[in-house]
Amino acid sequence: MSRPTQPTSVALHHPDKLDTLVENRTVYTLEGFELNIFETHQQASRVPLSMGSLVLTTMLRGKKVMHLPDRPAFDYLPGESVIVGEQQTMEIDFPEATLDNPTQCLAVAIPSDTIRQTVDLLNERFPLAEDHTPWHLSNSANAHLTNTPELTGTLERLIHLSQETHAAKDVLASFTLQELLIRLMQTQARKLIFHNYAQHLTSHRFAHVVHYIKQHLTEQITVQKLCELACMSKATFFRLFKREFGLTPVEYVIQERLTEAKRLLRNPFSTVADVCFRVGFNNTNYFQVLFKKYEGMTPGLYKKRCAA
């Protein structure tokens, strides 16, 4: 998986302008949803927060420790998002927050009616590959997600629009919120099928495709073979795969190969060239270009940092 991405941090309040040093809240109310920006400037523990609606939270700066129902506490860092279900209370620790090192977090509260309208539209006009797995936004597990570049870009546009004052703001924000919901559902689908494909081999054709890719990373993987496994034409396969997961099958193969490359590069006895060929690339220059595009550094630099 490529490195996590995060929206650009919003300007902080001057301490004199804060109502509170713990979870100071700035609210932007738009048609169909509410966008909140929280900032904390001092250490605190077990701060409760409940917003009624389903909430997408995204860390912009600093570190929190999240306590959510039915799961162990976990560190929450920039580049990550958490979906908190309706009527659920999160409790938050701020172990490192100070005036010089505040935390900042985005929280988008989305009423169930707004979500339902988008989901119904997608299921009616853009159905997924399997009839028994329609579009839906899961909130039962309080999902902890790594942001994709697409999700981050959508969040940045939503922040920008929320602070606008022109007449078309609500219309544009509504379209952007729909995109955000699609990105979230695609991110959840990636986590479900890409990470837990073995549980869905008999019920989801893309799980079968993912299984094949993972088993043949070092070999040539043809689009024709993947289409045969999915029992689809090439055009249908590409369209439905990207619709469900937000990336093409080729992009997925590349990301899987780079994930395996990172694992191999951590071995002190491996070389960049050796790793390149072991994960299925046949050109070291191409490997270097792709690695830097997805990871933000060359494979050689990644290897040096792992050895440090």
- CA–CA gap between residue 136 and residue 139 (Å, rounded): 10
Q: Which helix (H) or strand (E) holds 273?
A: helix 272-278
- What pLDDT is attached to residue 142? 63
- What pLDDT is attached to residue 2? 55
- CA–CA gap between residue 286 and residue 296 (Å, rounded): 15
Q: Give the strand order in the sheet containing 144-146.
A: 24-30, 33-40, 103-110, 54-61, 80-84, 144-146
- What pLDDT is attached to residue 141? 55
CB 217 within 8 A of CB 256: yes
Instruction: For each of the domains in the chain, give its residue range(s) and CATH number, in order of start.
Output: 1-195 (2.60.120.280), 199-308 (1.10.10.60)
pLDDT along the chain (308 residues), means of 10: 70 91 95 95 96 93 93 94 91 96 96 94 95 84 81 93 90 95 92 92 95 94 95 96 96 96 95 95 95 93 91
- What pLDDT is attached to residue 46? 97
CB 134 within 8 A of CB 123: yes
HEC assignment per residue over 186-230: HHHHHHHHHHCHHHHCCCCHHHHHHHHHHHCCCCCCCHHHHHHHH
- CA–CA gap between residue 78 and residue 103 (Å, rounded): 10
- What pLDDT is attached to residue 3? 59
CB 208 within 8 A of CB 219: no
Compute the C-alpha angle 177/182/185, nearest 5°. Answer: 125
CA–CA distances in Å: residue 66 to residues 6, 45, 119, 180, 229: 18, 10, 28, 23, 41
**How many Cβ atoms from other residues are within 10 Å of residue 15's Cβ?**
11
Query: What pTM does this model have?
Result: 0.87
